[in-house]
Every structure is written in structure tokens, then in C-alpha cells.
């Protein structure tokens, strides 16, 4: 009997596929890349056609020997790495290591890990697509050239140990520019006026807002103007000047791409991009479903909203079966892709919509279930009929003023049948009666004017940054999450709650790189480079020409920057304190999460301590000055300068304002929606802040500096060994319980 070897990337995937195939197939995993450019040298011969010099990755020797032994025993080797450029490159490297002929049909590709998909792929092996390999090599070589040429420049000009990246630097610049716009934003005051009206004393009351005066848009910028309008409205006669009623439909959103999945998981599940992709990978590679095993979703790195015809048919059939024919449109819903989409794979969807979230829940972890339900709901909804609304609009005259009342009521839920309660509650349904034009109205009440202020642009979150990168054509589905992870790991961006903010170091590096390498490290060039990589993969561009066109200008900019940027780093700033260990001056240095104090006697003395940033507010407990500090995860908190004598600590910023109830200091709290609220610093006061959800352990300055005391939603918690062990035991118990329930 012939023995066939299938090589995939991960052990989980190999276990799933093994259950689909007979004894004449062996499945093993390469554990990702086995060859790469060397870390110790550039690894690219720029003088000879940018030839890369690959070596086997250190620590993979035993695995390589094992794969060679397995391949030697097999009659046929199939390379089944992921169906993207990275996966194609891994197959190409595997072919080189195992001595396979890349022109032989040894490559198989499937976009879902199901029995049918794998068996069908084995019937149609193909040769390795060298164009896709070259596209991946081009990205790798350019990133290596940028990193290994720019990083030494940063070491000389800014600080040792820094690293630079082509796309990452653009992402940091995007965040830094938004932070600057927020800092420079000047709010403007404006007022809105509304009135409650009715047709007669027995008719329902509705609300209309003042829109115009004498035919021009009404703009109110102070309370006096608002009071004048209120006075006019109280004396005015009201009459309907125009009335419209129409039916409005709201189509379902398209199925998920990588970008939209990451955004929706952030909004609804509070998942980071990294967490989303990790859980999606688990669902794709396969889970045990009773006695069988299968991948529950299709490949999760895609920019396409396209669904296979067979999948569309099965979804429509299931919609009709579950909800009735009125929920299934006559023709399948179709969605257009973005202009720069590669459309190489289907949208992200369940491999079988018959596997409902409720049926799969016993076999999944909580995270897996939540993400699977999100994908299942979106996929089903995309092939359902639109939600229908009846919209009523009244234009009302009141002397010189024009008011408008707009109402919208859902008449058929359509795809919103699958929406959760929060989403439905967010649907602002306002009933406005349809009143014929020319009808006189009765004023019930003029509402007091509402004061508003224009708001600054919001800080970027991981979700909004992914959306921005996709809109600008920066990166591709497989790179969004690594880019965001890298800029945080390097200390160029700090995450506070959901907000991403450029650190002082990040601003400095981004300004230097975009200032001196603006022709290469910018949004348009990054987008153009992605298009060129797509062209290489599509056999429409030459790898060496694109590398040559990039490297020539880059080398010139590098030489110019080395001359222009001052060589000597700025002198170290004294903090005014002495080192407790050796008596030398303490100096201010900059680290991942900002500035700190370090001994000037380094490396002989390694003493460091926080740089206390005073905010000019007295401590509510002892009267000392309150200082701003950061946890090990970069989150800001406030503590007394007299710690450990005084243990005052707060997530909320202390102010000098007195509490209107008891007279003690108020704390300023910024809500997730950007609004600012004030609470008393005395926990016994009736105006005290409500306790934050999920926090049971007492938070102290010491625990925060150790990295403890934070929710999973706001930062990582440093767990003790005992806590980790308890968590692991609890998880294992939960899995056993779910398996037992599944068997029943």
C-alpha cells in the first residue's frame, strides 16, 4: 500500500485532518517557517540581484530531521500549508529542505478543514506558485532592508535597542497625528432647541427640533441666543408645511472579512485583534465535535465578501427552514468588495450553517463560542431580507422658524431577527404621527435649550486603526494584527483601555523617520507597495525590478539622513535626586512607557525608580502632592508622592474642586464614550463613584506597580503561580463538563 505524507503548519490542523483520511495517509506539522534570513547579518546580497541567503532556523534541527525521515518513507509528499502567500512560501521552503521538485504537483490547497474539502484538494494537487512565493519574498526582503538599515541609524541618533519598520512606522505616525489633533482641538459651544407639539388636546405628543430661521440654518452659540429663540417659540403659531411618509429598508451587512471581523469582535466582544485571530485560528483548524472533528469556519485571512454558490444555497435553505420564506429574499444577496481587495478566498463563514452556535456551545470554550456565534449570525443575516421601517417626516413652520420632526418605526425585522437585544435597543424608534400639510398644531411645551460642545476626533482603537489601514490600503488581512502587536511591543504605542496612544518615544521615532524618509515611509507609498506585491503574485510585475526601484532611492535617503541628523544624542537630564545605592546623580531616561529615573553610574549601578509626575493637586488623604504613574501594562493611575507612608491610589484623576455634598475633593472619571464625570473621593459620601465591575481585590499602589489589580478588559494581570495553576485546573474542569454534556 502506498504511503502518502501531508505536511501542514500546525499540530491541531494535523490532528483534525488525520481523522478524515485512511491509514495510507500520515499527517504532520512543520510548525510554521523552517527557513528564514539570518538574524546576525543582513542576509540579502544587494549587489547581486537582492539574492536572499536563507538558513534553517535555529532550534528547528530536530523537527527538520524528523520531517526528512517521514518524507523519505513516503511515496508521495503533499504540502498543505495555509492558502496565502506566507503559506506558499513555507511550502517552497519545505520543498527545498526535503529535496522535492517544486515543478511537481505536490501542493494542495483548501479553504476549510472539512472531510470533503481535504479529499477534494487531494484530487487536484498543483505545483508551487512561484509568483506568490516571490511576492512574499519581496515583502520579507524590503522589511529586512528597512529594519537592518534604519535601526542602526536610530541607535546612533535616538537610543540603542530601537528598531524600525516600514509599515509599523506609518501606523505609529497615524496614531501620533490623531493624538496631536486631539491635543490641539478647541471645543465650540452650540445649543439645540426642541418643542413638544400635538395636533389637538387628545392627539399624541411628538418632538420637533428647530432647524432654520428665515430660511437659513439656525446656529446658536450661547445661552442668551437660546433663551431668545425659546421666547419666540412660546409666542409662535405652529403649522405643518410639509409631510412625507415612506418605507425605508435596511440591508444586511456583508459576511466578515478579516478586517470587519476584527472590528466587530472589538466592538461587541472586547477582543483585541490578536485575540480575535488566535480564536479564529482555533475554529479554522478544528475542534472535537462529539465523535468527529472538523474546522468550524473557513480561512480567516481574507479581504473578500464573496460566498461560494453552494454555501449561499445552504444558507438560504437554512434561513427558510428556521424563520420562514418571508425571511429569505427571492435572489441571493451579493456584496461588492473593496477596490484593492485580492479576492483570493471566500468571506469568513461557518463551514456548515447547520452547526448552530447553541449546538456547538458544549464543545467550545467561552471565547470560541462567542466568536463562532458572531460569525454564524453575520453569515446567516447576510442572506436574509432587509429590515423594513416606516419613516415619517414633518416640516413645521413657526413664524420665522422652521422645525423638523422625524420618526421611524420598524414594520418588519428581517435580518435583525438575529440581532441581540443591545443592538435592537440601540435602534432609536421614534413615533411621529402623519399629519397632513396645512394642519395647525398646538404647542404643548418648549423644552429648555440643550448646551453642547463639539467633540475632538476619537483616539484610535485597534478596531478603528484596522479600518483606517484597510481604507488607506496599508498592509493586508494577514498583517493587521502583527502590525498592531509590534508597535505596542516596541513601546511606540501604549494601550489605555481601548485607546491607542503614541508614546513620546513613538512620536520621536515616527517624526524622524517620516521627516527624513517621507518618500518611502508614508501612507501613499505603503499602499502602492501593497499593490506592487499583488502585481507580483498575479504574474504582472518583476520581483527584482521592484526591489531595485525601492532600494536605490532608499539608500540615497539613508546617506542624506546620516549627514543631516545630529550625531550626538542630547545630554542626559538630571532629575535632582541622588542614587540611594551608590550616591551618584539620578538621570531621566526614556523607556517603553515613558520617562523614568536611572542611576548615572550605569552599568555599574542598575538602580531605577519611577519619575513622579506631579499634577498640582493635593492628596485627599495626607495633603501631599498627587503624582501620575503607570502600571507595567502602561495604564495611568494616580498615587500620593508620600507612598508608602500614604497609600492613596486611584484610577480617577483627583481635582481641586470640592464635592457639592460633603466638601471633600472630587475625582474626575473619563467614561468609555469620552464623557467626563465627577465623583467624591470619600467612599462613604453619597456622591462617591460606583464600584468598577469585576474588581474584587483591593487595589494598592504596590499592586499596581507590580502589574496587578487590572481587569482583563483594561490590561493584562500579572498572575501568581498559584493563580495560574488554579485557572488551568478550572479550565480543564470546564472542558470535562462540556464533554460530558455533549455525550449526554
pLDDT in tens, 309-351: 899 999 999 999 999 999 999 999 998 877 655 556 789 999 9
**Strand pairing report for 76-79 and 4-8:** parallel
Q: What is the mean pLDDT of residues 535-559?
A: 91
Pairing of strands 238-250, 287-289: unpaired
pLDDT of 131 over the 80 cut: yes
pLDDT for position 712: 29
Strand 189-192 and strand 450-453: the pairing is antiparallel
Give the residues across from 441 on adjacent strands: 238
Phi and psi, residue 594, nearest 5°: 115, -160
CA torsion angle for 675, 263, 714, 177 (degrees, to 10)? -60
Helices (H), 436-542: 462-472, 480-489, 504-516, 523-537
Which DSSP category does 222 fall into?
S
- CA–CA gap between residue 419 and residue 109 (Å, rounded): 35
Question: Worst-scoring range by mean pLDDT, 107-111, 212-216, 633-637?
Answer: 633-637
Whole-number mean pLDDT of the chain?
86
Neighbours of 627 (CB within 10 A): 21
Inform me whether the pLDDT recorded for 476 exceeds 70. Answer: yes
Closest CA to 230 of 218, 242, 217: 218
Task: Say how far apart CA 715 and CA 453 lie, in whole Å.
Answer: 31
Query: Rounded to an integer, what distance in angstroms lies between the CA atom of residue 105 and that of residue 122?
Result: 10
| Lowest-confidence pick of 62-76, 187-201, 212-226, 484-498 | 484-498
Confidence category of residue 681, pLDDT binned at 50, 70, 90: confident
Nearest to 399 by CA among 194, 243, 234: 234
What pTM, to 2 d.p., does this model score? 0.77
Residues 496-527 pLDDT 10s: 878 999 988 888 888 888 888 888 888 888 88
Round to whole Å and give the CA distance between 559 and 553.
10
Average pLDDT over residues 716-739: 45
Q: What percent of the chain has pLDDT over 70?
A: 89
CA–CA distance, 670 with 509 (Å, rounded to integer):
29
Q: What cell was used for 592?
A: 517603553
Residue 732 predicted with pLDDT over 80: no
CA angle, corner 417, sides to 413 and 418, nearest 5? 145
Angle at 122 between CA 119 and CA 128, to 5 degrees: 145
pLDDT given for residue 3 in this prediction: 85
Summarize pLDDT for 426-472 with one digit per residue, the tens. Answer: 667 889 999 999 999 999 999 999 999 999 999 999 999 999 999 88
**Residue range 676-691: average pLDDT?**
83
Q: How far is CA 327 from CA 247, 375, 604, 632, in A?
A: 17, 19, 74, 51
pLDDT for the residue numbered 633: 56
Predicted confidence at residue 702, as pLDDT, reads 55
So what's the pLDDT on residue 372? 97
| Residue 602 zone, left/alpha/beta (φ > 0; ψ -120 to 50; rest) | beta
| Cα gap 537→697, rounded to integer Å | 54
Nearest to 314 by CA among 252, 383, 393: 383
**The pLDDT of residue 189:** 92
Q: Which residues contact 618 (CB under 8 A, 6 or more apart)?
A: 624, 625, 626, 656, 665
Question: How does residue 710 score in pLDDT terms, banded at 50, 70 and 90?
Answer: very low
Would you say residue 744 has pLDDT above 90?
Answer: no
| pLDDT at residue number 696 | 47
pLDDT band of 672, cuts 50, 70, 90: low
> Does position 91 have pLDDT exceeding 80, yes or no?
yes
Across 195-209, 259-273, 634-648, 724-738, least confident range: 724-738
* φ, ψ (nearest 5 deg) of residue 563: -80, -40
Q: Please determine, for residue 111, whether its predicted confidence score (pLDDT) is greater than 80.
A: yes
Contact 200, 416 (CB under 8 A): no
Catalytic, 299? Answer yes
Give the count of alpha carbons within 13 A of 192, CB side only: 12
- Spatial neighbors of 98 by CB under 8 A, at least 6 apart, are 67, 68, 71, 77
Provide the 10 A C-beta neighbour count for residue 587: 18
Q: Are strands 4-8 and 25-29 parallel, antiparallel or unpaired?
A: parallel
Cα 88 to Cα 103: distance, rounded to the nearest angstrom: 13
DSSP secondary-structure letter at 5? E
Q: How far is the C-alpha of 260 from the C-alpha of 732, rounded, in Å? A: 32
- The residue with greater pLDDT, 118 or 673, is 118
pLDDT surpasses 50 at 285: yes
Beta-strand runs (E) in 166-325: 189-192, 194-198, 206-213, 216-217, 238-250, 287-289, 292-294
- In 90-237, the DSSP E strands lie at 189-192, 194-198, 206-213, 216-217
For residues 595 and 235, give the distance between their C-alpha atoms in angstroms, rounded to a whole number: 62
pLDDT range class, residue 707, cuts 50, 70, 90: very low
C-alpha cell at 615: 499634577
User: pLDDT (tens digit, 9 = 90+) per residue, 617-629?
Assistant: 888 888 888 988 8
Annotated catalytic residue within 25, 78, 238, 299: 299
pLDDT at 611: 77
Is residue 53 within 8 A of residue 38, CB to CB? The reply is yes
Grid cell 474542569 — which residue?
733
Cβ–Cβ < 8 Å for 546, 557: no
In degrees rounded to 5, what are phi and psi of residue 465? -70, -40
pLDDT (tens digit per residue) in 630-639: 776 567 788 8
Rounded (5°) CA angle 150-153-156: 155
pLDDT at residue 106, as a whole number? 94
Instruction: Check pLDDT > 70 for residue 724.
Output: no
Grid-cell match 487590572, residue found: 710
Q: Round to whole Å and give the CA distance between 407 and 412.
A: 16
Q: Can you tell me the distance from the alpha carbon of 86 to that of 344, in angstroms, rounded to the nearest whole number?
A: 13
Region 679-683: mean pLDDT is: 86
The pLDDT score that the predictor gives to residue 242 is 96
Amino acid at each position: 500500500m502506498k504511503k502518502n505524507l501531508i505536511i501542514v503548519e500546525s499540530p491541531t490542523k494535523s490532528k483534525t485532518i488525520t481523522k478524515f483520511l485512511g491509514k495510507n495517509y500520515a499527517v504532520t506539522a512543520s510548525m510554521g517557517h523552517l527557513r528564514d534570513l539570518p538574524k546576525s547579518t543582513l542576509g540579502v546580497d544587494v549587489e547581486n540581484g537582492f539574492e536572499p541567503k536563507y538558513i534553517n532556523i535555529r532550534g528547528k534541527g530536530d523537527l527538520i530531521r524528523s520531517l526528512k525521515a517521514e518524507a523519505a518513507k513516503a511515496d508521495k509528499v503533499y504540502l498543505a500549508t495555509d492558502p496565502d502567500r506566507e503559506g506558499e512560501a513555507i511550502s517552497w521552503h519545505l520543498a527545498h529542505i526535503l529535496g522535492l521538485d517544486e515543478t511537481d504537483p505536490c501542493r494542495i490547497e483548501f479553504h476549510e478543514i472539512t472531510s470533503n474539502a481535504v479529499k477534494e484538494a487531494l484530487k487536484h494537487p498543483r505545483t508551487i506558485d512561484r509568483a506568490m512565493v516571490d511576492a512574499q519574498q519581496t515583502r520579507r526582503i524590503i522589511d529586512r532592508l528597512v529594519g537592518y538599515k534604519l535601526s542602526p541609524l536610530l541607535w546612533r541618533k535616538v537610543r540603542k535597542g530601537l528598531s524600525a519598520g516600514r509599515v509599523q512606522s506609518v501606523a505609529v505616525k497615524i496614531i501620533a497625528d490623531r493624538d496631536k489633533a486631539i491635543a490641539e482641538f478647541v471645543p465650540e459651544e452650540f445649543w439645540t432647541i426642541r418643542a413638544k407639539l400635538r395636533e389637538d388636546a387628545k392627539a399624541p405628543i411628538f418632538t420637533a427640533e428647530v432647524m432654520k430661521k428665515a430660511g437659513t440654518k439656525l446656529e446658536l452659540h450661547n445661552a442668551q441666543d437660546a433663551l431668545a429663540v425659546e421666547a419666540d417659540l412660546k409666542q409662535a403659531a405652529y403649522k405643518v408645511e410639509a409631510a412625507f411618509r415612506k418605507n425605508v429598508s435596511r440591508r444586511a451587512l456583508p459576511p466578515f472579512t478579516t478586517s470587519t471581523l476584527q472590528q466587530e469582535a472589538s466592538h461587541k466582544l472586547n477582543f483585541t485583534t490578536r485575540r480575535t485571530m488566535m480564536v479564529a485560528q482555533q475554529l479554522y483548524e478544528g475542534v472535537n465535535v462529539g465523535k468527529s472533528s472538523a474546522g468550524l469556519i473557513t480561512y480567516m485571512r481574507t479581504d473578500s465578501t464573496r460566498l461560494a454558490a453552494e454555501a449561499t444555497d445552504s444558507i438560504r435553505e437554512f434561513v427558510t427552514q428556521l424563520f420562514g420564506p418571508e425571511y429569505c429574499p427571492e435572489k441571493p444577496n451579493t456584496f461588492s468588495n473593496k477596490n484593492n481587495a485580492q479576492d483570493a478566498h471566500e468571506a469568513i463563514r461557518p463551514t456548515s450553517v447547520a452547526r448552530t452556535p447553541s449546538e456547538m456551545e458544549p464543545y467550545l470554550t467561552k471565547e470560541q463560542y462567542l466568536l463562532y456565534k458572531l460569525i454564524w449570525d453575520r453569515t446567516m443575516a447576510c442572506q436574509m431580507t432587509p429590515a423594513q421601517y416606516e419613516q415619517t417626516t414633518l416640516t413645521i413652520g413657526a413664524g420665522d422658524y422652521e422645525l423638523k420632526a422625524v420618526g421611524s418605526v420598524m414594520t418588519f425585522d428581517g435580518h435583525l431577527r438575529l440581532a441581540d437585544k443591545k443592538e435592537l435597543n440601540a435602534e432609536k424608534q421614534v413615533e411621529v404621527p402623519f399629519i397632513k400639510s396645512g394642519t395647525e398644531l398646538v404647542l404643548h411645551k418648549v423644552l429648555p435649550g440643550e448646551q453642547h460642545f463639539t467633540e475632538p476626533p476619537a483616539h484610535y482603537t485597534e478596531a478603528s486603526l484596522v479600518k483606517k489601514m484597510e481604507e488607506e490600503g496599508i498592509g493586508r488581512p494577514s498583517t493587521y494584527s502583527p502590525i498592531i502587536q509590534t508597535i505596542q511591543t516596541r513601546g511606540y504605542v501604549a494601550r489605555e483601555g481601548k485607546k491607542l496612544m503614541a508614546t513620546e518615544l513613538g512620536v520621536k521615532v515616527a517624526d524622524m523617520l517620516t521627516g527624513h524618509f517621507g518618500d518611502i515611509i508614508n501612507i501613499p507609498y505603503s499602499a502602492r507597495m501593497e499593490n506592487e506585491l499583488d502585481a507580483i503574485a498575479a504574474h504582472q510585475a518583476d520581483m527584482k525590478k521592484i526591489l531595485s526601484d525601492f532600494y536605490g532611492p532608499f539608500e540615497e535617503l539613508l546617506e542624506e539622513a546620516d549627514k543631516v541628523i545630529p550625531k550626538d544624542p542630547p545630554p542626559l537630564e538630571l532629575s535632582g535626586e541622588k542614587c540611594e545605592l551608590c550616591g551618584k546623580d539620578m538621570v531621566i531616561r526614556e523607556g517603553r512607557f515613558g520617562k523614568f529615573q536611572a542611576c548615572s553610574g550605569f552599568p555599574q549601578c542598575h538602580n531605577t525608580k519611577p519619575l513622579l509626575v506631579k499634577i498640582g493637586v493635593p492628596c485627599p488623604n495626607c495633603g501631599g502632592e498627587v503624582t501620575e504613574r503607570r502600571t507595567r501594562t502602561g495604564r495611568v493611575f494616580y498615587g500620593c508622592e508620600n507612598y508608602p507612608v500614604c497609600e492613596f491610589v486611584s484610577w480617577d484623576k483627583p481635582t481641586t474642586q470640592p464635592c457639592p455634598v460633603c466638601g471633600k475633593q472630587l475625582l474626575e472619571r473619563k467614561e468609555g464614550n469620552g464623557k467626563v464625570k465627577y465623583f467624591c473621593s470619600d467612599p462613604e459620601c453619597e456622591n462617591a463613584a460606583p464600584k468598577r465591575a469585576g474588581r474584587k481585590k483591593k487595589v494598592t499602589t504596590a499592586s499596581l506597580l507590580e502589574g496587578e489589580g487590572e481587569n482583563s478588559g483594561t490590561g493584562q494581570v500579572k498572575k501568581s503561580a498559584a493563580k495560574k495553576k488554579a485557572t488551568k485546573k478550572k479550565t480543564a474542569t470546564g472542558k470535562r463538563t462540556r464533554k460530558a454534556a455533549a455525550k449526554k
